[in-house]
Amino acid sequence: VRASDTHHLSVRELALAYYVQGDWFQILFIHGFPLDRTVWRQIMATLTGWRRIAPDLRGMGLSDVPNRYSMTEYADDLVALLDALSAPKAVICGLSMGGYIAFEMMRRHPDRIRALILCNTRAEADAEDGKRRRNDMIGLVQREGTGALADVMVPKLLAPASLKVMPAVVEHVRTMIAGNPPAGVVGAIEAMRDRPDSTEMLPKIDLPTLVIAGRDDQLIPPAASRKLADSIPGAQFTLIPDAGHLSPLEQPVATSRVIAEFLGAID
């Protein structure tokens, strides 16, 4: 996906930037925090035969920066985008915070979801110590900007091996974080801090589901992702070697292969 392939649509009184490629069945890619749609570029390039849609969430990338942020707002934005693209149903693929949004879409718009792919994410809400860390992060962004946030987050998002041998990936992640509007980043932190717990809904999910984990994920250990998969009836679990919290970016070939096999089984 080239930069020139970026489109914009007005939905719910804001303009969302997005990539779209291909046709036929729809798959919606939801990026994590504090990233943008470009995290999916290599994955999108390989999944031929599907209509791949990857938006910038509100307040991120090239999308508008409104005043309201919550998992509800994100979920409703994306359903409105699917409406505008004439996509009545889609496979939802959420990375990290994108997984939180996928759960909210399950809660609010279950009829719009054909299958779930949950990458490096969890269902639990933040505990009190987690909320304190979110508030500290808000203070950092407000004082020093998103460049300072990039300095803190890059070593946590990527596997140690990625930090050593993938300078282009490191720079891509740093650029995404530092380039995001501070107001949108703060709004996303608040939305994550205040999100509902989704663990009770897991046993009720009756859709094909794939859970992807990075073997070297420092933020969500593989055991937590395995527990997530075990809580969803019939869910598949895949561990990606040599990947941290950003499996689709650090190991795009392995991640694409797993996603393609999953999509082929439900096609």
pLDDT over 80 at 4, yes or no: no
3-state secondary structure of 265: helix
Q: Report how far residue 187's alpha carbon sits from residue 77's, in angstroms, rounded to the nearest whole number.
A: 15
Helix (H) or strand (E) holding 55: strand 51-55
pLDDT of residue 24: 79
| Sign of the alpha-carbon dihedral angle for 122, 156, 187, 111 | negative
pLDDT over 80 at 72, yes or no: yes
pLDDT over 80 at 107, yes or no: yes
pLDDT of residue 164: 96
Contacts of residue 251, defined as CB under 8 A and 6 or more positions apart, other chains included, come to: 214, 240, 241, 242, 243
pLDDT of residue 59: 98
pLDDT of residue 2: 52
**Over residues 24-51, mean pLDDT:** 93
pLDDT over 70 at 9, yes or no: yes
| Model confidence pLDDT, tens digit, residues 208-253 | 999 999 999 999 999 999 999 999 999 999 999 999 999 999 999 9
**Over residues 161-171, mean pLDDT:** 97
pLDDT of residue 23: 81
What does 113-159 look like in DSSP terms, one character per residue?
EEEEEEES--SPPP-HHHHHHHHHHHHHHHHH-HHHHHHHHHHHHS-
